Every structure is written in C-alpha cells, then in structure tokens.
Chain A
Amino acid sequence: MVQSEEYDPYEVAKQLYPDLPQGFPYDNFDLEELILPPGDDMGIKSDDDDVRDEDVQTQSGFGSCIVIQNLPKAPEEKYEKLMGVVRTIASKLGDVRENGIFMPLDDATKTTKGFAFVEMARKEDADAALSDERFINGYQLDKNHKLTLSRFDDFDKYAKVPDEYVQPEPVAYKQPENLHSWLADKYGRDQYVIRHGDNTAVCFNDGKRSRAEVAYQREYWTESFVQWSPQGTMLATMHRQGMAVWGGPNFTRINRFGHQNVRLIDFSPNEKYILSYTSHEPATARDSFHVLINVWDVRSGKQLRKFEGPVDEYAVGSSAGPNGALKWPVFKWAGGRDDLFFARLGRGKISIYECPSMTMLGKESLKLDGVQDFEWSPVEPVLAAYSAEQGNQPARIVLIKVPEKTEMRQKNMLNVSDVKLFWHPQGTYLAVKVEAWTKTKKSTITSFQIFCVKDKDVPLEVFELKNNKERVLNFAWEPKGHRFAVVHGDGPRPNISFFSMRDDKGRLGVRELKMLESRACNAISWSPQGRIIVLAGLKNFNGQLEFFNVDEMETMATAEHFMATDVEWDPTGRYVATVVSHVQQMENGVKIWSFGGRELYSSQRDKLYQFSWRPRMPSLLPAEKEAEIAKNLKQYTKRYDEEDEQLLQQADADVLQERQRALDEWKAYCESRRNYAALQMDFKRELYGPRFAEKEYTIQKVMVEQVVDQKEEPYSTK
C-alpha cells in the first residue's frame, strides 16, 4: 500500500466496508494487520490459482444478452416504429429487462444497422429464447427479412478464432505415476481415508503392529467430502469449481472436472466415467428445481454428455426421496468388467444409455408400465425391474437382458404394498422382498422371491419366515457363498436368522441354519470374504458388537465401542473398523478390530466427519487357484508367521523405546527447571519462616461452644 498522508484506519475501513455493522472495527483494530503482505498466504493454500478460465463460467456479464439480426434497415424517421416491432418480438422471447433493447443507428447513413441487442432479465431467459421453436429456424418478419437470434458472447468467441491454423505443439509424454502402488505395500496393508476437522489423511492400517501409519495428509483438501473410486485407484475431492481426482503414491492430481457447486458424484464401476450432479434454483417461481448431471471421461477429463431437466422428471419411483427430492445416484451402472451401460428410471420407462457413445440404447427407452424400481446385476448387464400394481394389472418383477432387451424371467403378484430388490454381490441370486397386504388390508405379510439367476431357466424359490407377519428390518447376502441373513422381529431387540440357498449336496432349496434370538442389533455387516458377520447395535444401542462365525455358528467375541455410529470391514475381510462420527458430540474416533473381535488399536479424532476404507480391485486370481490356496493354507501361512512374529517384536520394542524416550525427555525437562523450583521453594521458606517446616499434623478434638440463638420467654403457668 502506498501511503503519503496520515490516515485514520477507522475512516478507511468505513469507506472500504460501508455495509459492516456498527462496532467494527474493534477497539484495538489495526487495518494493516488485515492486509496480507504480498506473497504471504498465511499458510493457507488457495486453489483458485490453478483453476482454468474455461472451467468457470461467469453468471454476470453479457450472458443474458442476445442479438436479433437481419432486421430491416430503417431510416431515422421510422426508428420508433421499428423499435415497436422489435419490442413485440422481444416480448415473445421472455422477460426483457427494462430499457433492455438497444438498436444502434449508423452515424453516416442515419439508418438502423439491421440488428438489435436485447437484454433478458436472466441468463436462463436468454437460454430459453435461443432454443425457442419459433425462432430456431429463423423468424419470418416479412418476405425479405428472416430474423435470427444469436448469443452476444458468441460474437466475441468467434472473433477470437485465428485466421490461420496453427499446429498445436505436441505435449511431451510424461510417465504417469503408478496408480496401484498401495497394492504393492510390503506388508500387504490396506489404506483408509479419514477426514476430521480440516484435515484429510490417508493412512495405512498396520493391524499387525496395532497402529496406523499416515501415507499422505493435507489440510483443506476438500470442501465437502472425499470419495474413493470403486476400485480404489483414485480419490475424488469436492470443490466449489468442480471435483478433482488424485492418485499415486503421493496423491498427485490426475484430473479435474469443472462443475460449479457440484454436490454429489458417482463413479462407474470400472472407473472409466464419473457423473456429477447439481440442482439449480428455478428460473421462475412456477418452475421447479432444475437438475444438471454431467458425464465425464475420467482419463481425459472431457465432458461426454449433459443431462438437464426439471427435478420431477428425474425423481421418479425409487429415485424420489422425501419431499420430491432426488435420491442419488440417479443413474445406475450395469455390472461387468466393462462400463457398457447405465440407466435411469423414468415415468413408465427405463432409459438405458450406451457407452462410450452416451446415446440411448436402441434410440428409445425401455417401456415398462408403472415401473417403480430397478437394479442391475453386479456382474453382467442384466437388470431386474419392479412394476407396481395398476388397476387390473398385477405387480410384476421382470429380469431383462441388455442389450437384447429380452425377458429372462418374470413373476406376477397381487396385493403388493412394497418391494425391495437385493442382488447377490456375485450376481448368482436376486432376492426380492415382497410385502403383500392381508385380506383385511390392515397388516402385511412378508415373503421372499429368490431368482436363481445362474441356474438353467432361472428357477424361482419362494420362502417365508415362520411368522410371516413379523417386521423384516434387514436382509444381507453373504458376499461369497450361498447364505443370507435376515434381521426380523417386532420388539426392540430383533432376531437374526441365517439361511442357505443350497443343501450339502448343492441342491437348490432355502434352508434355515440358525436363529439368534433377541440381539441388541440394528446393523449387520458381512465380512467381504463371507463366513463372519458383525452384529452391531449402533447409536441408540450404545455400540454393542458381536462377532459371529456363521460356519461354526458360534459367537467369537462380544465387545463394545461406546456410541459407535458405523461399522466398516476392510476390503480383505481381515479387519473391522468401528467409528464414532461427528453426529455424536463426544468420543469421536475409530477403533480397529481383528476379524475375530480383538481390539487392536483406537485413535481419537475430534470432529470426525468421514472414514472409509480404500477399496481394492477384484482379485485377478482365477477361482481354481483361490480354492487351491484355501486348501493348502497352512503351507502358505507358514511363510508369513515368522515375519509376523518379527513385526510384533519390533512393535513392542518400538513402544518401549518410545516410552523410554518420553521418560528421558521428561527427566531432562525436570533437570532444566530445577533451579526455578528451588528458587520458588527458597522464596517461600524465607516468607513463611518457621512456619514453613513441614510438620506431621495431629488431629486434636476441640469442642467449640457456640450460642446459636438466645430468646427470653416468660414462663407461663398455664
């Protein structure tokens, strides 16, 4: 700042910030303190510098300005008349800003120049005008004049195109970083991301040594949340200008995508595409909220397609949340090794889009009357859809193969009140939970229709709980295998039942295995490897945990993580994390358990917003190889046992060493402060004199008589 004369900081501040409430600046306020010296960022990195200009489209400026061309060239006398015509035309386009029409005159010839500028009230109005059907192919004013509309900004844009083609410089090849480096960790550890306060940290979970090791951390990395890609290759961060994806050993930025005020994102299962979503305030009061969804190519960062429309077009059936809000994700991706199809629910239809062209499959939506919900199989492009009952038409569940759009199997039902679809993670079964009204329509009966998708002709198994009127709270497939768990019961402590789809000889048929009665449990979580399930009583149940082995049908351990809000298995099924997130006022933190329910370590993190394990890509080992390893597990583990033992000893030694260091440090501190302590002691000794000498005190009983109250009353003889 250049200052040549005396200035009063109060006055300067008042001029600078006239809107500030009274009382500012504060008494000891110094204006200069507020102004950062050039080049000093006070340790807060700004991301604004990296934002490419084209990422940010300004709302203000000439965005709401359009140009009407091919108007007649009228002399000055007829100016007003022509203006009247233009006004009428412009009013057809939408809300025009007051005095928003400008028609220039040619100074030399004193005639109009044949075009007029129209400033609309909002950018949205200008957008609407430009796509107006009456004008899109030109508006016939009279025989010789066909009016066309253009965006004012476009003139600028086209004017900037250079006349001569310049060959762009080829960009030098840069060896990309290994995005899978974490999978090559020496100890085979998994990572998790933890967001607390302003800090976001990616940590290695060193369960064997009962500790976590920070791999990378950064303050203010994201503005709302972070999200792993489905195979863990990338981490997405959210910003005002859009989102960015990071990866590699040092989490360098791989790409970014400009989407103003992006709210939610979704990756395709194989990480080829990323969808981003915002909803926009309506342009006019009678309009509804607008939805904008962008589809991006993750590697190139190119926008591939844009979906836009009023929210009620998107919030249909199962995609509609409470109050007509949208339930994310709107688009669901087909399973399989390639990202081939994605689809969304419409009214009476499912719109399926093809990749990479992003066009609608077969150019039209799949018509399904009254369709309410659909889910893709996790492993192949097969989708299951549920249509509600309509008049005489029964409710219908149908399995459809894509892209052929052929029906594999269907099932009709009557008196249905609600349906939920549960695909087995390996795509072998589809369980459909059906709640049907009883005859009195006062209560519902729950049944399960299970489609055995991988068997010939897709046989259907139907089964009900012993008490079919009970409330079913939860259903979960064992991720690998043929079993599933159901949480049911009307009381405060529900029961958990386990079923198998096959008997010992592999024949189909639902079989009950065991029921665990009255558990303080409101969440169940299977290990990704199956076999083990954690029954958790979160939140109101105070964080009770039960680690249950379904193979042996026995409880391995019970434990408690007080006030836990979430349970998360690591992707390998070796560890379980229980989390107390910021929804609880206190005790925020994470506890890591072995799969058998042994507490390994805990870490306190105040204001813990997010915890999520880094996913792994599916195993590349063929199934036979995996089976062989499982069979000869002893041989394989032998190799690692020794290593583990060493690690453990190392960990113990580390702890002891750390303690010794802390102890030495403390001793050194006490030594350094000995003089001061002695000085204080001497000072007191001097002040108190003989009273200072510490004496053993003796307890002496002293009776103190005290007159509490004294009153004189004449003695009455009555």
Chain B
Amino acid sequence: MRPYLLKGHERPLTQVKYNREGDLLVSCAKNLQPCLWSAEDGRRIGTYEGHNGAIWTCDITWDSDRLITGSADQTVRIWDLPTGKELFQIRHREPCRAVKLSAGERFLAATSDAFIESPPAIHIYKFAENIEDQTATAAIEWTVPKGRVTRVFWTDCNRKLITSHDGGILRRWDVETGALLQEQQVHEDAIQDMQMSPDETHVITASLDKTARLIDVDTFEVMKTYKTGRFVQSAAISPLFDHVVMGGGQDASQVTTTAAQAGGFEARFFHKIFQEEFGRVRGHFGPINTVAFHPSGKSFTTGGEDGYVRLHHMDMDYFTTKFF
C-alpha cells in the first residue's frame, strides 16, 4: 500500500474529514488554513483562509456546498466549500472545540472550552439555508461541567446530543432544554475522539487510557474494548467490514526522547467484534492525531502530529484476505 503523502500543513493535524460522497477530503491543523483535497489522488484543490488560530474541528454539509470550521481564535466560520470564500463568522468568547450539523442541517451544535471566566458550554445555532438569514446568536446554549467537550453528535432524530469529555465521560443532553439526561464514565482518561457508526447505533471512542471502545448510543454501554498499550488519539469504524482503525502513539512532548519506532505511531487495525489486532500501517514519524475512513471503506486517511496527511488506498489483499 503506497499512500499519498499530503503536505499542506506545517503544524500538527487536528481532524480529517471526508464529504458524504467521498470525493473530497478536508484537513484541519494547528496552522491557519484548512485544506481541501481530492480524495481520489490527493491533489490539493484549495485552502480556506481567514482563521487566526488553530483549527480544532470541521464539518461538511450533505451537499458539500458549505464547510463549517471551529477554531481556537474563538470563531466558528461558515465557508463556501467549492470556492473557499468565507460566508459567515460566529464569534464566541471562548475557543471552539467541536462542531456538528444536525440531520437536515437546520441547526449547528458548537462546543466551547473554558476560557478565563467562562465555563465550557454547548451552543446551538440555527443554520440558515440562505446565508443572508444566518444569525450569530444562539438559539439555546448551556454550560457544562468542568473539562473539555471533545466531540458532539446529534441523536434520536435531532432530539438529543451526545458529547464526549476529557474526563473519560459521555453525556447526553436534551436539545430543547439543555437538560443533562445521562452521564456515564466509559474511559479512565480523556476521550480524544468519538466517531459515529454508519448506521448511527454506536460510536467508537478513542482515549488516553490506551484503549478505544465501542459504545452503544442508546445506553452508553461499553460493548467492545480495543487495548493498544499506547495513547489512542483517534479511532474510526469501517463502513465496509467489521473493522476499526485507530491511531495515536507516545505523547508528543516525549517523542524526541526515543527512537522513531519506540513511539508506536502506526495506524492499527482491529477486528470490530473479536477485538483482535490484524494489521498495522506505519509511516508517520509523530503520533497520529486523527483517522478517517472513506465512506466506501476502500481507503482511509491519517493526520499526524508531524504535519502530514497520509491518504491510503487499500491493496487488493485487504479485500481478499480472510483475517479470522
């Protein structure tokens, strides 16, 4: 498997995301310009210029006409995805950590970190079809207990939100009232990433407790645990097979003190049901911060602390080998 090595960022990657059809790939990093790539051959199509801080997260609309980014510069921005033009800016008083559009894209959920005096919070905005109607005032917002909100998803036909937190906790919220419905400790350390399964019945969480876990959306019951022995920064579920992939590695601040191999920077494939590892893909020379599966499950992308995005198309072996 020869990956495309995409060099568009000089700083650590924070999130990579495919659009629904899987022809485009957006990468966000701690430098100021998110990039848009062709998911087929890794050509860079363009960048989105305007942010003034690290971009933590992004989301893409159903029709791939808008890109939403959340940044440490305390703004959430809406971009025209094909042209790279900035359309709208929602200004917070705090850095924005996670964004997610609701199904149907009438609403946008954004989470903000604690900053100076403000506690962390969740904000719900109306997401206007015509950009002229877009407002920067939240339809509803509420504060959450101490700690970072790392990812957010809409569930139960947009009635509820689930959020992952850096205390290893999952929380469920009522969207209309902001009431906390459920709280569950599922990891022993911070949850760094959470990704939804294609059928939206379960999520995979990646944690600094060196495991990734498969968790039922409805009950927050931990169904599977994938032990890696190293910090897990990101994990994704294959839409094609019963496979999951996870990335991570030694703490970035420690990397220079050891040999490259010692860091454990490979992307690791586990069988989703048997919880057994069956493959590794190496290449990054820093921890992997984010992984994403192509919507077809035939390729996947990793973004590392080293500033590179690696776009892998699976070899034939991957499809023909019976791993278990």
- Chain A interface residues toward B at CB < 8 A: 28, 542, 562-563, 585-589, 604, 606, 659, 662-663, 666, 669-670, 673, 676-677, 679-681, 683-684, 687-688, 691, 697, 699, 704, 706
Contacts and interface: CB of A to CB of B under 8 A. Distances in A.
Interface in B235-270: 242, 249-251, 254, 259, 261-262, 264
A673 B201 contact: yes
A586 B104 contact: no
Given A586-B231, A662-B273, A673 B218 contact: yes
B229 A586 contact: yes
Given A662-B274, A673-B201, A704-B83, A691 B62 contact: yes
27 contacts: A562-B261, A586-B229, A586-B249, A604-B227, A604-B228, A606-B209, A606-B227, A659-B274, A662-B273, A666-B273, A669-B216, A670-B201, A673-B199, A676-B217, A676-B218, A677-B199, A680-B103, A680-B157, A683-B103, A683-B104, A684-B103, A687-B103, A687-B104, A688-B62, A691-B63, A704-B82, A706-B83
B174 interface: no
Contacts of B229: 586-589, 604, 606
A586 B103 contact: no
Nearest to B105: A687
Contacts of A659: 274, 324
B216 A673 contact: yes
Of all A-B residue pairs in the complex, the 4 with the closest CB atoms, nearest first, are: A687-B104, A587-B229, A586-B230, A673-B201
A697 B250 contact: no
A697 B40 CA distance: 13
B54 to A, nearest CB: 25
Given A673-B216, A697-B23, A688 B261 contact: no
Contacts of A684: 103-104
Nearest to B259: A542
Contacts of B274: 659, 662
- Place the interface of chain B in its size category: 35 or more
Given A677-B200, A688-B62, A586 B273 contact: no
B315 interface: no
B273 A683 contact: no
A697 B145 CA distance: 44
A688 B40 CA distance: 26
Contact of A585 (B23, B145, B250, B259): B250
A703 B202 CA distance: 41
Contacts of A679: 157
B210 interface: yes
B10 interface: no
Interface of B: 21, 23, 40, 62-63, 82-83, 103-104, 145, 157-158, 199-202, 209-210, 216-218, 223, 227-231, 242, 249-251, 254, 259, 261-262, 264, 272-274, 324
B199 A586 contact: no
Q: Tell which of A585, A663, A679 has the most Cβ of chain B within 10 Å.
A: A585
A677 B157 CA distance: 10
Contacts, number: 77
A353 to B, nearest CB: 47
B261 A542 contact: yes
Contacts of B324: 659
A586 B145 CA distance: 30
Contact of B254 (A542, A585, A589, A676): A585
B259 to A, nearest CB: 7
A371 B249 CA distance: 52
B273 A663 contact: yes
Given A587-B264, A662-B274, A673-B216, A697 B103 contact: no
B210 A586 contact: yes
Given A604-B229, A684-B103, A669 B63 contact: no
A587 B230 contact: yes
B104 A676 contact: no
A688 B104 CA distance: 6
Q: Tell which of A670, A673, A679, A691 has the most Cβ of chain B within 10 Å.
A: A673
Contacts of A670: 201
Q: Tell which of B145, B210, B261 has the most Cβ of chain A within 10 Å.
A: B210
A676 B82 CA distance: 34
Q: Tell which of B199, B218, B242, B249 has the most Cβ of chain A within 10 Å.
A: B199
A452 to B, nearest CB: 45
Nearest to A586: B230
Contacts of B200: 676-677, 680
B144 to A, nearest CB: 12
Contacts of A688: 62, 104
Nearest to A695: B21
Contacts of B63: 691
Given A659-B324, A677-B200, 17 more contacts: A562-B262, A585-B254, A586-B210, A587-B229, A606-B209, A606-B227, A666-B273, A673-B202, A677-B201, A680-B199, A683-B103, A683-B158, A684-B104, A691-B62, A697-B23, A704-B83, A706-B83
Nearest to B248: A586
A684 B273 CA distance: 28
B214 to A, nearest CB: 10
Contacts of B262: 542, 562-563
B81 to A, nearest CB: 13
Contacts of A706: 83
Contacts of B231: 586
A364 B209 CA distance: 58
A683 B157 contact: yes
A585 B228 CA distance: 12
A586 B21 CA distance: 37
Given A683-B157, A688-B104, A606 B210 contact: yes
Contacts of B242: 666
A659 to B, nearest CB: 6
A699 B21 CA distance: 11
A590 to B, nearest CB: 11
Nearest to B227: A604
Given A586-B264, A697-B21, A676 B201 contact: yes
A20 B168 CA distance: 27
Contacts of A691: 62-63
Contacts of A662: 273-274
Nearest to B119: A27
Nearest to B324: A659
Contacts of A681: 199
Contacts of A666: 242, 272-273
Contacts of B21: 697
A688 B21 CA distance: 15
Contacts of A562: 261-262
Contacts of A677: 199-201
A283 to B, nearest CB: 43
Contacts of A604: 227-229
Nearest to A678: B199
Nearest to A587: B229
A670 B198 CA distance: 12
A706 B250 CA distance: 44
B218 to A, nearest CB: 7
Nearest to A692: B62
Contacts of B228: 604
A669 B261 contact: no
A537 B99 CA distance: 48
